Amino acid sequence: MANSAPGVLEAMLAEIGAGSVGEVFEQIPKDHLRTTPLDLPPALTSEIELRRDLVSKLKKNESCEDNLSFLGAGVWQHHVPAIVDEIVGRTEFATNVWGSYQSDHGRNQAWFEFNSQLGALLNLDVVQLPVYSWGCAIGHAMRMAARITGRSKVLVPVLSDPERLSVIRTYCQPLEMEGHIEVVTVAADPTSGRLDLGDLAQKLGDDVAAVYFENPAYLGTIETGAAEIARLARSAGAETIVGVDPASLGVLKAPGDYGADIVTGPVQPLGVHMHCGGGAGGFIASRDEERYVRAYNGFLVSIVETQKPGQLGFGLACPHQNSYGMRENGNDWTGNSTYLWAIAGAVYMSLLGPEGFRELGQLIVSRACYAATLLSEVPGARIVWPETTFKEFVVNFDDTGKTVAEINDALRAHGIFGGKDISDEAGGLGQSALYCVTEVHTAADIRRLTDTLKEVLS
- Vertex 37, ends 33 and 40: CA angle to 5°? 125
CA separation, residue 137 to residues 141, 241, 304, 338 (Å):
6, 11, 27, 12
CA separation, residue 401 to residues 379, 380, 418, 451 (Å):
11, 8, 17, 18
- Identify which of 326, 438, 328, 458 has the alpha carbon closest to the alpha carbon of residue 389: 438
Burial of residue 296, with CB atoms counted within 10 A of its CB: 0-12 exposed, 13-18 middle, 19 or more buried? buried
Is the per-residue pLDDT at 4 higher than 80?
no
Confidence bin at 276 (pLDDT 50/70/90): confident
Question: Measured on CA atoms in the order 278, 280, 286, 289, is the torsion positive or negative?
Answer: positive
Q: Regarding beta strands 312-317 and 300-305, do their DSSP bridges make them parallel or antiparallel, or are they unpaired?
A: antiparallel
pLDDT for 321 = 87
pLDDT in tens, 330-349: 888 876 668 889 999 999 99
Is the per-residue pLDDT at 100 higher than 60?
no
pLDDT for 330 = 81
Confidence bin at 325 (pLDDT 50/70/90): confident
Tell me the pLDDT of the chain averaged across its residues: 92
Is the per-residue pLDDT at 103 higher than 70?
no
Confidence bin at 92 (pLDDT 50/70/90): confident
Mean pLDDT of 188-217: 97
- Identify which of 409, 405, 399 has the alpha carbon closest to the alpha carbon of residue 424: 405
Q: What are phi and psi of 427, to 5 degrees?
A: 115, -20
String of DSSP letters for 183-202: EEEE-B-TTTSSB-HHHHHH
pLDDT for 327 = 79
pLDDT for 317 = 87
pLDDT for 364 = 97
CA separation, residue 258 to residues 41, 128, 214 (Å):
57, 21, 13
* Between 42 and 155, the higher pLDDT residue: 155
Q: Which of 137-146, 191-200, 310-319 has the lowest mean pLDDT?
A: 310-319
Mean pLDDT of 101-113: 78
Confidence bin at 2 (pLDDT 50/70/90): low
pLDDT for 434 = 97
Q: What is the dihedral of CA 90, 94, 99, 101, to 10 degrees?
A: -10
pLDDT for 322 = 82
Q: Is 237 left (phi over 0), alpha (psi -120 to 50) or beta?
A: left
pLDDT in tens, 360-402: 999 999 999 999 999 999 999 999 998 878 999 999 999 999 9
pLDDT for 159 = 97
pLDDT in tens, 161-176: 999 999 999 999 988 9
- Counting residues of the chain whose pLDDT is more than 70, the rounded percentage is 96
